[in-house]
Amino acid sequence: METKRDFLKKLSLLAVGGIVAGSATPAVASNSNTNSPASAAKKMIGLQIYSLAKELTDNVPDGMKKIAKIGYSTIELAGYRDRKMGQYEVAEYRKICDDAGLKITSSHVNPTVRKYTKENSAEIAEFWKKTVEDHLKLGVNTLVQPGMPTIESHDEAKLVCEIFNNAGEIAKAAGIKWGYHNHNMEFKRIMTEAEKSAAPSPSDFFHPKGEIIYDLMLTGTDPNLVFFEMDVYWTVMGQMDPLEYFEKYPTRFPVLHIKDRLVLGQSGMMNFENIFKKAYANGLSAYYVEIEKVKDNMTQFEGVKGCFDYLNNAPFVK
């Protein structure tokens, strides 16, 4: 049985690892130019605004202008709740973004319940109807759920997929695509009772028995109703190789979250070149930078700019 330590030792040998790229050093050291003017940018690089936290929410109009000045073209929202974006009505929020020269193309939204049941499925559907109505006003192309519902059995996985399909139908009727964003826990396995009794440690994240929840989501949802926004970093943290998923399910990942441990390219563990090449071959339509942590001496805005510069100067990014 592979341990977490074994996995981390092998991490750089994955198709997404730095060694496969030909160098174990951070790619940002050779092709990042943090002094490049944003006006020279021609790439449509998107940003998940969760990356900025209070640095944005404390002054949204000013923050949106800073995002645009860096060079980002599109944004993916986070923070929709109670039919508003923070303190703003959705129409007002869109105007702020329009005035800054940013296009809202996507939004992360979670239903108010995490445990899905047949009894609350209608409540969840009603939530998505209202959410879609509001996001039409924001002008998004895609709606994405980033929170994993409780899934501890095959029956729960099946119900979640049914509810996902229904959300996809609601969004599709309005001309919006509906998708799901992963973290690492989707790569946990669900076992039958027989498999549990045979496994050395049924609760062990790394045991080889059972079916992977993410695969159950992929096979249990309708491709015409549900797409998957893969977060490539969290996929690796779930001990999986994004390229293997791109190969196995080539049409299911039209949107990506591009993330690293800190600023893009600085960990040396993510081979973004291979990720982008395969994703483009599969028909990648959009991607969003997301950054959660930065070094102690950096602001979130500085981290977001470092990510933009990395991608803007990367020859493998269109």
Q: Are 177 and 145 in contact (CB under 8 A)?
A: no
Tokens 């196995």 — which residue?
248
Sign, CA torsion 139/258/239/237: negative
Q: Are 145 and 179 in contact (CB under 8 A)?
A: yes
- Please tell me the predicted confidence (pLDDT) of residue 280: 98
Tokens 């092998």 — which residue?
10
CATH class assigned to 4-313: alpha beta
Residue 3 has a CB neighbour count (10 Å cut-off) of: 10
Q: What distance in Å separates the CA atoms of residue 255 and residue 81, rounded to the nearest whole number?
A: 23
Single-letter amino acid code for the residue at 178: W
Q: pLDDT band at residue 28, thresholds of 50, 70 and 90?
A: very low
Q: What residues contact 81, with CB distance under 8 A and at least 6 apart?
A: none
pLDDT tens, residue by residue, 214-246: 999 999 999 999 999 999 999 999 999 999 999
Q: Where are the alpha helices (DSSP H) in 174-263?
A: 193-198, 213-220, 232-237, 242-248
pTM score, whole prediction: 0.86
Q: pLDDT band at residue 9, thresholds of 50, 70 and 90?
A: very low
Q: pLDDT band at residue 38, thresholds of 50, 70 and 90?
A: very low
What's the whole-number mean pLDDT along residues 188-195?
A: 81
User: pLDDT at residue 173 above 60?
Assistant: yes
What's the whole-number mean pLDDT along residues 260-269?
A: 94
Residue 296: alpha-carbon gap to chain centroid: 24
pLDDT tens, residue by residue, 278-309: 999 999 999 999 998 898 899 999 999 999 99
Single-letter amino acid code for the residue at 129: K
**Cα radius of gyration rounded to whole Å, the chain:** 20
Q: What distance in Å separates the CA atoms of residue 209 and residue 229, rounded to the nearest whole number?
A: 26
Express as a percent the part of the chain with pLDDT over 70: 83
Q: What distance in Å separates the CA atoms of residue 303 and residue 51, rounded to the nearest whole number?
A: 9
Q: What distance in Å separates the CA atoms of residue 240 and residue 129, rounded to the nearest whole number?
A: 34
Q: What distance in Å separates the CA atoms of residue 317 and residue 41, rounded to the nearest whole number?
A: 12
Whole-number average pLDDT of the chain: 88
pLDDT tens, residue by residue, 75-123: 999 999 999 999 999 999 999 999 999 999 999 999 999 999 999 999 9
Would you kindly state where each structural domain of the chain is located, as residue ranges?
Answer: 4-313
Q: What are phi and psi of 123, to 5 degrees?
A: -60, -40
- Please tell me the predicted confidence (pLDDT) of residue 194: 73
The tokens of 258 are what?
């591009």
